[in-house]
Amino acid sequence: MLTLVSHPARIQPALASKPYDRWVTPEGEVKAEFHRPPEGFLVRFPGEADFAIDLAARRASGWPAPETTPDHFESLFQHGIVPLVGNYLGGLFLHGSAVAVGDKAIAFLGLSRSGKTTLAGAFAKAGYPFLTEDVIELALSGNAYMLQPKHSRLRLFVDSAAWLLEREFPDPEDDDKHSLAAGENLPFAETAVPLARIYVLGRDHDAPLAINPFVGPEALAQLLPHAFVLDVEDKPRLRAHFERIGQLSERIPVCALDYPRRYGELPMVISAILAEIRTNPEP
């Protein structure tokens, strides 16, 4: 368990160190920088927040930037810092969303704005409870990977939120995410269920609907970009982390999922996924 100690907002100070790693979007935007001060790690989300991590104390000290809202600050901690530290300490966290289909879980992995949370919301709208919307935490129990339920809210951009709720928002140009609480129309699964399938969302948002399995090492290669790594220079921990992801890729089917990113297509996507699960039951 990692504790967050929150400090007052501040303008991000200049850092003496150079980052040893960065998270960079396909468009070239730096989303996070990783520094190694003498006392541990410092993760900077440029223009948003700084988090100093004390692993010995299992504590993170956080400073939001002046324009960062409390909800976004908490989200950066829960969806960024917690899984980074969790994987560093031997856990298994992936960047994705998940829903419960019967007594099993299916997970969706993808880049930011790839549609994974909207897809999880569409499943929930269709009566299949969502389990998590941004961070997947897996706990190995025997031969099963139990997918742990996370916060019972979906964070979506305004167009997706409007489609799920079937109502308009005052500012359709709003680029912030809206937090939708679980309820009768968006059910939430409160107990862990075993993971049955992982779908990796394709990058072509105009591609036709298709589901294709990844085979052998290809499945591992598809999972690695969606894992959280705190220290890319710690080779023993990195090797152990890759082994855990490799075991997951060998035990759980991993499939490519392509579909047009249009809301009207989502019912057909859900039907195709359910049919694929029925046709190809887990090993």
Q: Which of 36, 57, 88 is the last residue of a domain?
A: 88
Extract the tokens encoding 39.
């006392």
Is the domain of 109 the same as that of 181?
A: yes
Position 281 scores a pLDDT of 67
pLDDT digits (tens, 9 = 90+) for 30-73: 999 999 998 889 999 999 999 999 999 999 999 999 999 998 89
Q: Tell me which of 48-52, 65-69, 113-117, 190-194 is least confident.
A: 113-117
Is the domain of 102 the same as that of 226?
A: yes
Asked whether the beta carbons of 5 and 60 are under 8 A apart, the reply is yes
Is the domain of 184 the same as that of 74?
A: no
Closest C-alpha to 44, from 103, 84, 96: 84
Is the domain of 113 the same as that of 20?
A: no
Is the domain of 149 the same as that of 269?
A: yes
Confidence of residue 280 (pLDDT cuts 50, 70, 90): confident
Is the domain of 20 the same as that of 133?
A: no
Is the domain of 80 the same as that of 100?
A: no
Q: Which of 39, 66, 88 is the last residue of a domain?
A: 88
Position 39 scores a pLDDT of 82
Number of domains in the chain: 2
Is the domain of 140 the same as that of 233?
A: yes
Q: Tell me which of 32-36, 156-160, 276-280 is least confident.
A: 156-160
Tell me the one-letter amino acid at 254: V
Distance CA 198, CA 96 (A): 10
Parent domain of 256: 92-279
Is the domain of 156 the same as that of 226?
A: yes
Position 245 scores a pLDDT of 96
pTM for the whole thing? 0.91
Is the domain of 10 the same as that of 102?
A: no
Is the domain of 178 the same as that of 64?
A: no
Is the domain of 7 the same as that of 116?
A: no
Output the CA torsion 74→78→84→85 (10° steps): 90
Q: Which of 88, 120, 153 is the last residue of a domain?
A: 88
